[in-house]
């Protein structure tokens, strides 16, 4: 590339960088990274799914204990360049799968416990049931407003307040960075 082409590329790159910086600074463009608020909502929306995953994995463990591991079809065999023969017996393979599933269950239970602990901090709040209704039962803002006998704006305001409180318990470091950046 000629010096002139390199200079043009540098000018374009610098201009785009400055433009992106200004757009972000003015709040017209956000980083693609999820905010602590969004992460908190995502955890709550998936809370019941996390609990279901534990049940499903436990059923899989029970199935393996009763029936052993499912064998792969031998009619189709693929080999890679570094193929190594698996010398473990079926019992060892089953034990390994069970251990991996049990570890996964423990990790999921730990995350659920963290969410439960954060939720317990809000139990005395007048609008605590809003979390259950919105995130666990999938109720609309209108249905929740009817439940509480208030207007939709009150539900939105209190939902945001509760999520902002939860995000501090769940993502305290990120919430502090968000406040000071």
Of 53, 55, 40, nearest in space to 134 by CA: 40
Q: What is the pLDDT of residues 152-177, one digit of tens each?
A: 999 999 999 999 999 999 998 888 88
User: Which two three-digit tokens encode residue 132?
Assistant: 């259950």
Structural domain contains residue 100: yes
Residue 45: per-residue pLDDT: 95
| Average pLDDT of the residues of the chain | 85
**Least confidently predicted of 62-66, 68-72, 90-94:** 68-72
Element (DSSP H or E) covering residue 158: helix 152-170
pLDDT band at 34 (very low <50, low <70, confident <90, very high): confident
User: Which two three-digit tokens encode residue 51?
Assistant: 């609990």
Given a contact cutoff of 8 angstroms between Cβ atoms, the answer to whether 122 and 128 are in contact is yes
Structural domain contains residue 12: no
CA–CA separation, 89 and 86 (whole Å): 8
Residue 145: per-residue pLDDT: 97
User: Residue 101: how many CB atoms within 10 A of its CB?
Assistant: 16
Structural domain contains residue 134: yes
pLDDT band at 39 (very low <50, low <70, confident <90, very high): very high
Structural domain contains residue 31: no
Structural domain contains residue 11: no
Given a contact cutoff of 8 angstroms between Cβ atoms, the answer to whether 159 and 145 are in contact is no
pLDDT of residue 24 exceeding 90, the answer is no
Of 104, 102, 117, 128, nearest in space to 50 by CA: 104
pLDDT of residue 52 exceeding 90, the answer is yes
Domain span at residue 167 reads: 36-69+88-180
Structural domain contains residue 27: no
Q: What is the pLDDT of residues 105-160, one digit of tens each?
A: 999 999 999 999 999 999 999 999 999 999 999 999 999 999 999 999 999 999 99
User: Residue 155: how many CB atoms within 10 A of its CB?
Assistant: 24
Structural domain contains residue 23: no
Residues 6+ apart with CB under 8 A from 73: none
pLDDT of residue 17 exceeding 80, the answer is no
Number of independent structural domains in the chain? 1
- DSSP-based three-state secondary structure for 140: coil
Structural domain contains residue 1: no
pLDDT of residue 32 exceeding 70, the answer is no
- DSSP-based three-state secondary structure for 133: helix
């Amino acid at each position: 590339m000629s010096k002139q082409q390199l200079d043009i590329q540098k000018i374009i790159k610098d201009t785009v960088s400055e433009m992106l910086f200004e757009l972000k600074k003015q709040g017209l463009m956000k980083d693609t990274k999820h905010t602590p608020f969004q992460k908190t909502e995502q955890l709550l929306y998936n809370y019941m799914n996390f609990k279901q995953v534990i049940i499903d994995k436990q059923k899989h463990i029970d199935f393996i204990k009763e029936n052993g591991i499912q064998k792969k079809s031998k009619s189709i065999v693929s080999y890679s360049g570094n193929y190594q023969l698996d010398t473990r017996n079926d019992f060892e393979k089953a034990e390994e799968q069970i251990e991996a599933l049990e570890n996964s269950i423990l990790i999921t239970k730990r995350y659920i416990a963290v969410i439960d602990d954060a939720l317990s901090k809000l139990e005395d709040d007048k609008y605590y049931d809003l979390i259950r209704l919105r995130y666990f039962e999938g109720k609309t803002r209108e249905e929740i407003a009817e439940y509480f006998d208030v207007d939709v704006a009150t539900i939105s305001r209190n939902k945001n307040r509760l999520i902002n409180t939860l995000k501090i318990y769940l993502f305290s470091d990120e919430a502090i960075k968000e406040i000071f950046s």
